[in-house]
Amino acid sequence: MFNVILFGAPGSGKGTQSQKIVEKFQLKHISTGDLLRSEIATGTALGKEAKQFMDNGVLVPDVVVIGMIGKLIENNKEAKGFLFDGFPRTVAQAEALDKLLKLSDAEIDVVIALEVSEEELVTRLLGRGKTSGRSDDADETIIRSRIEEYRKKTEAVADYYKKFNKVKSIEGEGSVDEIFEKLSAIVEQYI
């Protein structure tokens, strides 16, 4: 099994690149943002709880997200590998993920971090907000609060994996294809 985390701030391009990578390498895409939005769309209890946090640009509690991922890994044991997008976002989530993968005798092979400047992030997210219908992209205050959550809680996840020498960073500014080439080259070293 090959497992990769695509790491980066909100707006760093994780979603776009994830779709291309999972298609090319036949991995199972796990995006907690998409999963949570789909829980909200179907009106589940989990979705109702998560919505209050997401609308304010703060992280959904670890227990909620970890429970959701646990079920998914359990139900996809035959997958060739997973690409995690937007997860783990806290050190507690990273530790829980390590434990969940261990149950299948697997581990995270590599964390690829997309580096993008803060001003570029805000510009991209405001641009996306005009067409995506995502209310958390339409308001600059909420965008700044998501970036702050990233700095306060999520950046530590990269430090956690650096201890195990698993982090590779790439420049996340440039064309979608240029970034995809760089990402693919890293994945190919492992597959």
- Given candidates 2, 7, 87, 161, which one binds ligand ADP under the rule CB under 6 A? 87
- Find out whether 143 and 10 touch, Cβ atoms under 8 Å: yes
Is position 146 annotated as part of the catalytic site? yes
Q: How many residues bind ligand ADP (CB under 6 A)?
A: 17
Q: Which of 35, 33, 4 is nearest to 110 (CA)?
A: 4
**Residues in contact with ligand ADP, shown as a per-residue x/- string from 30 to 69 under the rule CB under 6 A:** --xx--x----------------xx--xxxx----x----
Question: Does 89 participate in binding ligand ADP (rule CB under 6 A)?
Answer: yes
Question: Does 124 participate in binding ligand ADP (rule CB under 6 A)?
Answer: no
- Rounded Cα gap, residues 54 and 128, in angstroms: 16
Question: Does 13 participate in binding ligand ADP (rule CB under 6 A)?
Answer: no
Is position 14 annotated as part of the catalytic site? yes
| From 20, 37, 51, 134, active-site residue | 134
- Find out whether 172 and 182 touch, Cβ atoms under 8 Å: no
Measured between alpha carbons, how far is residue 72 from residues 35, 75, 142 in Å? 10, 5, 29
Q: Which is nearer to ligand ADP, 30 or 170 (CB)?
A: 30
Question: Does 11 participate in binding ligand ADP (rule CB under 6 A)?
Answer: yes
- Rounded Cα gap, residues 6 and 121, in angstroms: 16
Question: Does 157 participate in binding ligand ADP (rule CB under 6 A)?
Answer: no
Helix (H, G, I), strand (E, B) or coil at 134: coil
- Find out whether 150 and 58 touch, Cβ atoms under 8 Å: no
| Active-site annotation, residues | 14, 89, 128, 134, 146
List interacting residues with ligand ADP (CB under 6 A): 10-11, 32-33, 36, 53-54, 57-60, 65, 86-87, 89, 93, 146
